[in-house]
Amino acid sequence: MAEPVIAAKEPMVMELEPGTYYWCACGRSKNQPFCDGSHEGTGITPQAFEVKEKQTVAICMCKHTKTPPFCDGSHNAL
């Protein structure tokens, strides 16, 4: 399995509408922080998550969080 690419060393704070989203875990997507299929062949798969009500979230961009898809501050150690 390949190592994830660090897309950024800070979270992406964004407001999400209710729905199902697919977080890019590989870091290769051109549609960060969401999956665009670029993980093919890496052994890394996107993580589905559901937002039940409109909310502001901090999405992990370093791809090293222990609480995917949400930032846990892991980027501070990279």
Domain range for residue 37?
12-77
Q: What is the DSSP letter of 34?
A: B
Mean pLDDT in residue range 16-36: 98
Residue-level pLDDT at 2: 84
Task: Residue 57: name the closest of 1, 12, 10 by CA.
Answer: 12
Question: If DSSP codes are grouped into helix, strand and coil, which group holds residue 10?
Answer: coil
Answer whether 0.85 is exceeded by the pTM. yes
Q: How big is the CA angle at 53 (ends 47 and 59), to the nearest 5 degrees?
A: 40
Is the pLDDT reported for residue 55 higher than 80? yes
Mean pLDDT in residue range 52-60: 98
Is the pLDDT reported for residue 63 higher than 90? yes
In a domain, 3, yes or no: no
Number of domains in the chain: 1
Q: How far apart are the first and last CA of the chain?
A: 20
Is the pLDDT reported for residue 1 higher than 80? no
In a domain, 70, yes or no: yes
In a domain, 1, yes or no: no
